[in-house]
Amino acid sequence: MRLATWLSYLNPNGYTRNYPYTAQSPTLYKRVEYTCENDLIDEVDRILAEPQTKKHGTGQSLYFQTLLFCNPYVLIPEWCWDMLEDYNACKKFNVPLANNLEEVSVWMLDCFHTIEAEINNCTKYQRDKDGKR
């Protein structure tokens, strides 16, 4: 969800790779052959275990590091894109989540909270990058 938010906010393109391929591992600091999605998941797990991930945040770390070794869109399940669409519909068009708060799932509220936090992180990153504080 965090990576999907960064990808939708900053919108990079041109990342297509077919298995097998070789790319620089951002965690092992050497060229690695990626043969399947499990290899990508292993790399993501190593990224998440790095100390700088806590410093920069999960979404930002995944965004910048996955672009180095894979097409990051293959890592994101369809439900993440659906959740981003629901979030945008609620925010931009004032579409209610449900008739009342008791009908809203905790999972959906948690996803919306994560999206909101990552959008704030994206905005802060963009502002800092552009030199506007």
Domain tally, the chain = 2
Residues in the chain: 133
Residues 82 and 69 in one domain: no
Residues 30 and 62 in one domain: yes
Query: Is position 6 within any domain?
Result: no
Average pLDDT over residues 31-46: 96
In terms of pLDDT, which residue wins out, 2 or 98?
2
Residues 83 and 66 in one domain: no
- Given a cut of 70, whether residue 78 has pLDDT beyond it is yes
Query: Is position 2 within any domain?
Result: no
The pLDDT score that the predictor gives to residue 14 is 66
Predicted confidence (pLDDT) per residue in 98-129, tens digit: 777 778 889 999 999 999 999 999 999 999 98
CA distances from 54 to 27, 49, 58, 118 (A): 15, 9, 7, 14
The pLDDT score that the predictor gives to residue 103 is 83
| pTM of the complete model | 0.86
pLDDT band for position 133 (cuts 50, 70, 90): low
Residues 104 and 125 in one domain: yes
What burial class does residue 50 get, using C-beta atoms within 10 Å of its C-beta: 0-12 exposed, 13-18 middle, 19+ buried?
Answer: middle
End residue of a domain, out of 74, 91, 112: 74
Residues 15 and 68 in one domain: yes
Residues 16 and 68 in one domain: yes
Residue with tokens 């629901």, as numbered in its chain: 86
Handedness of CA 132, 51, 74, 23 (dihedral sign): positive
Query: Is position 97 within any domain?
Result: yes
Domain that holds residue 44: 11-74
Residues 96 and 65 in one domain: no
Query: Is position 3 within any domain?
Result: no
